[in-house]
């Protein structure tokens, strides 16, 4: 890591175990992480600030993941979104990608897998930012 600012990540999953497992590992890898279990809370947070990367579940009470990520992308097009879901179907995957989602991971996944996806998303984000 250079002296540049840390990449910020928002995690949204209604099962606390997901953030509990992800956050320490992302912290150790030098990311700045905020975790949410309720989509309304995450929604109000992205209205306060932008995140570089968003990791979100799809199927949730209240505002679902698709609505959430649509809003996030609308507010901040440079934000890369990674979808994590236990109900992976071709339909939801297609729909996600049409919304400009960077990648789509089916739960359960390996810690190493998501770290790799995050790393790639971060590279893409930086390239886009440099081009802009």
Partner 1 sequence: MVSINKYYLPYPLMRDLPAARGNGNRPVTGRSPVKDRSLGTMKKIIAWANRTFQSEPKTAQRVSFATLFGKFQNILALNNRSLELIAGANDKLGGHYVFDQQYIHSFCQELRELVDQLIYNFEGLAPQKYPGIYKVFREINYDIEEDLARRLVISGSDFVMPYARISREHINVVGGKNARLAEMKNVLGLRVPDGFAITARSFQYFMESNELWPKVQAITEDWQHNKLSGEQASAKIMALIRKATVPVDLIKAVQAELEQLRQRRENTTLHLAVRSSAWGEDSEFSFAGQYKSMLNVAEVNLFQAYKDVIASTFSAAAMEYRRHNGFGDQEMSMSVACQAMIDARISGVIYTIAPSSPRQDDLMISAAWGLGEPVVSGQISADQYTISRKKPHKISAVSLVRKEKQLILQPEGGTVMQAVKDSRKSNASLTNEQISQLATTSLEIEQFFRSHMDIEFTIDQQGQLVILQARPLNVAAQNPQQLCDIAAIVKKYPVLMKDKGVIAQKGIGAGKIFVVNSNADLNHFPSGAILVARYASPLYAKVMSKARGIITDVGSATCHMATIAREFRVPTIVNTGNATEVFTTGQDVTIDAEENIVYGGTIDELCFYGLTTERIEETYEYRLLRRILKKIEPLYLVDPTEKNFIPEGCRSFHDIIRFVHEKAVEELINLHYTQQHDPQSLSGKLRWDLPLDMILIDIGGGITASDKDSDIDIARIASIPMRAFVKGLSSPGAWNNEPLSVDMSSFMSSLTKTMPAELTSPKYMGQNLAVISKGYANISLRLGYHFTIIDAYVSDNLNDSYIYFRFAGGVSDLTRRSRRARFLEKILTENDFVVEVHDDLVIARIKQLPTSDIEAKINFLGLLVGFTRQLDILLISDQHINQFVSGFEMLVKKNTNE
**21 or 47: CB nearest partner 1:** 21
Q: If you count them, how many residues does the chain have?
A: 132
Q: Rounded to an integer, what distance in angstroms lies between the CA atom of residue 97 and that of residue 92?
A: 9
Residue 107 in contact with partner 1, rule: CB under 8 A: yes
Number of chain residues interacting with partner 1 (CB under 8 A):
17
Q: Which of 44, 75, 109, 129 binds partner 1 (CB under 8 A)?
A: 109
Helix or strand (DSSP H, E) at 123:
helix 111-131
Taking CB under 8 A as the binding criterion, the range among 20-28, 40-48, 73-81, 120-128 that sits at the site for partner 1 is 20-28
- 103 burial (CB, 10 Å; 0-12 / 13-18 / 19+) is buried
**18 or 46: CB nearest partner 1:** 18
Neighbour tally for 121: CB within 10 Å? 23
Contact code string over 48-87 relative to partner 1, x by CB under 8 A: --------------------------------------xx
Token look-up 């729909």 returns 95
């Amino acid at each position: 890591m250079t002296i540049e600012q840390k990449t910020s990540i928002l995690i949204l999953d209604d099962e606390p175990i997901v953030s509990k497992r992800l956050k320490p590992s992302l912290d150790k890898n030098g990311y700045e992480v905020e975790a949410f279990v309720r989509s309304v809370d995450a929604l109000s947070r992205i209205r306060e600030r932008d995140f570089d990367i968003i990791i979100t579940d799809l199927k949730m009470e209240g505002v679902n993941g698709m609505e959430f990520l649509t809003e996030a992308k609308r507010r901040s097009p440079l934000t890369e979104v990674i979808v994590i879901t236990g109900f992976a179907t071709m339909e939801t995957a297609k729909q996600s990608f049409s919304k400009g989602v960077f990648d789509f991971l089916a739960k359960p996944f390996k810690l190493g897998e998501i770290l790799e996806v995050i790393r790639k998303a971060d590279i893409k984000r930086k390239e886009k930012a440099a081009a802009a």
